[in-house]
Structure 1
């Protein structure tokens, strides 16, 4: 398993715009081989921004990397450059290989 995360610093007062962009877009993830799940996370407010993170779970690092080179990735990100003033800087990517998973008993 592989976890891909992007941290976004969103300018204060632009949180609604950021959320509308992300919640209203088609991620094109459901049909991607190796995709497991996606979460958009709203974090704490800081002095000059609010922290958000995207968190996606993949069957493997290779599945994630294949997605980043796919048509689905291009479609999901085609309009991302039009709202740069929402962000306080570039997103920060973090990738993690899963060493252990603990799940609830049903």
Structure 2
């Protein structure tokens, strides 16, 4: 399993609009093979939101980035530049351990 984390710097005063864009998203990613889950994390003490997607494999993630549903999900009006206070940071991690209340 891999986790793709897109860390996005949202400018002060634009948080609600940023979150609303995700609440109103098209919901296309869920239909892709290998997709596991999607988390949108609001920062507690920084300006970085984290958009995390979980995939069965790197191949599944890469296939999604080349798919028509990816293009559709990222189409439409672009957010205003002033919504962001800097460039986003994309990180990809391979899961080496996964524990939860049921397995610990």
Give the TM-score of the pair, scaled to structure 1. 0.88
1:21 positional shift? 1.0
Residue deviations 1:2-25, cap 9 Å, x none? 000000111101111111111111
Answering whether residue 94 of structure 2 is matched by residue 97 of structure 1, we say yes
Match of 1:78 among 75, 78, 81: 75
Query: Can you give the 5+ residue segments of structure 2 that lack an aligned partner in the other structure?
Result: none
The 2-side partners of 1:45 and 1:83 are apart by: 23
The structure in which a higher percent of residues are strand is 1
Q: Number of residues paired by the alignment? A: 103
Query: Can you give the 5+ residue segments of structure 1 that lack an aligned partner in the other structure?
Result: none
Aligned twin of 2:13: 13
Give the TM-score of the pair, scaled to structure 2. 0.89
1:80 positional shift? 5.9
The 1-side partners of 2:38 and 2:13 are apart by: 25
SS at match of 1:30: helix
Cα RMSD for the two superposed structures: 1.6
